[in-house]
Structure 1
């Protein structure tokens, strides 16, 4: 199949930063779309299609606000708007430059993160996706302003140059997922303060995460997708099928293994 040419939208300096630091923040890429995404996913939450998404009421949540607003996994499998943004040309063109190859979409997610919600312990995405021989890249779209108060993203620059680490158990009082990796000596976490519509791209080995939402009344909603490239030959079986830019399915070998740490098949999921 002939693939249309993508890319040629990033500057050499942007590509260099991504290669060296492991991340690239594109300001305002979806500034005009953030309100639409926010309203759309709040409606999906209210409608709660039971076969795909199961929030509970306050009386059943046991005081855990994330049980009332759980993350929405793979919405592109049942929602056309989600799929259209997962395959949006603005994202795919940037990814083509970052991969130096045509990207293929593997996953979509929506995080609501209301006030009082836990964060997610520091982790590396390719621990879960198991993309080989390269790695995955995430596109993290801020749907609200995201900062230190409402649990914005934290990245560890240059940790993309490290191998994927085997995690230890995270502190359940501050993280809703169980896996955590340590920040190695000589590296430091950096907060990524973002405006609604900004998009953060980051390498699958980059250590990143978020802290709890300690604000009184601010959600920190985000639409997140993960991608491999057409040069890759293998990915975890949890992410089938993958999609090209035109919506056609991309055939790739599915890995059934637990990866180098032996536990990646127990999916708690990236971000």
Structure 2
């Protein structure tokens, strides 16, 4: 038996350990979601060098030129940092890790109508958390489904080793990496309501659909975490933060992962 759980039931924890992912509802109040709405609506109106660099003259052929991802908003916006270390989320992570979680990364995706998705991949290929693993907390700011570019997961692939990716189809994915699922294992859609949080293991193979709608964004606030006992992480994700906001500096992971190269790539979903 694990120690006393803060937020999850034993059944939820077992589902995460077996399947590699778990949806948890009710971690954000309507007021908190409205706060996130307003914060990123304001950010979307300005260029933030190194974090959010839209093409204001974009012709619409690639919607992500006008609405690229916001990278590490916690580094320049206190509201983003507050929700990256949101206590209810951090408590779920403590249940999953059986120790304190450290926040490593925040991102926000607008994913407007017509946007490409992302090919299947594994998160810890990039974060390189050792020993242990990263866990993602993917919060649906808009309802997410197969039509507007919701997530895909390949259940039970959390037990697989990290793979060196192949080249993705650039017509469907705006990143270049693709990890092929094992034979007889298929990606399944994850349908989420506004405010749902999907937690998933860093080795789980996952990706996202293209947004095929004409009028629905698929906004998401996505953060990645490491276990407190980890000693190394890829340099891009340092420093990390405790729930109380205290910074923590893990050592830089010198490993290049399964491909033998240092990857400083940050992946969209």
List per-residue Cα deviations over 1:188-226 (Å, max 9, x = no partner): 211111011000000000000101000010000000000
List per-residue Cα deviations over 1:126-177 (Å, max 9, x = no partner): 0000001111000000000100000001111100010111100100000010
| Match in the other structure for 1:39 | 38
Where does the alignment leave 5 or more consecutive residues of structure 1 unmatched?
none
Deviation at 1:248, TM superposition (A): 0.8
Residue 128 of structure 1 contacts residue 265 of structure 1 at CA under 8 Å; is this kept in 2? yes
Structure 1 residues 123 and 216, CA gap change in structure 2 (3 angstroms): same
Distance, in Å, in 2 between the alignment partners of 1:124 and 1:101 is 23
Structure 1 residues 46 and 184, CA gap change in structure 2 (3 angstroms): same
Q: Check if 1:12 corresponds to 2:6.
A: no
| Match in the other structure for 1:125 | 123
Aligned with 1:262 (options 260, 263, 266):
260
| Match in the other structure for 1:225 | 223
Aligned with 2:94 (options 92, 96, 99):
96
Cα root mean square deviation, aligned: 1.7
Q: Check if 1:195 corresponds to 2:193.
A: yes
Residue 128 of structure 1 contacts residue 270 of structure 1 at CA under 8 Å; is this kept in 2? no
| Match in the other structure for 2:47 | 48
Number of residue pairs matched by the alignment: 266
List per-residue Cα deviations over 1:71-92 (Å, max 9, x = no partner): 0000000000000000000100
The secondary structure found in structure 1 opposite 2:106 is strand
Residue 71 of structure 1 contacts residue 109 of structure 1 at CA under 8 Å; is this kept in 2? yes
Deviation at 1:31, TM superposition (A): 4.8
User: TM (normalized to structure 1)?
Assistant: 0.94
User: TM (normalized to structure 2)?
Assistant: 0.94
| Match in the other structure for 1:236 | 234
Deviation at 1:231, TM superposition (A): 1.0
Note the 1:110-189 alignment, pairs <5 A: 110-189=108-187
Residue 234 of structure 2 contacts residue 264 of structure 2 at CA under 8 Å; is this kept in 1? no
Distance, in Å, in 2 between the alignment partners of 1:105 and 1:186 is 34
Residue 31 of structure 1 contacts residue 196 of structure 1 at CA under 8 Å; is this kept in 2? no
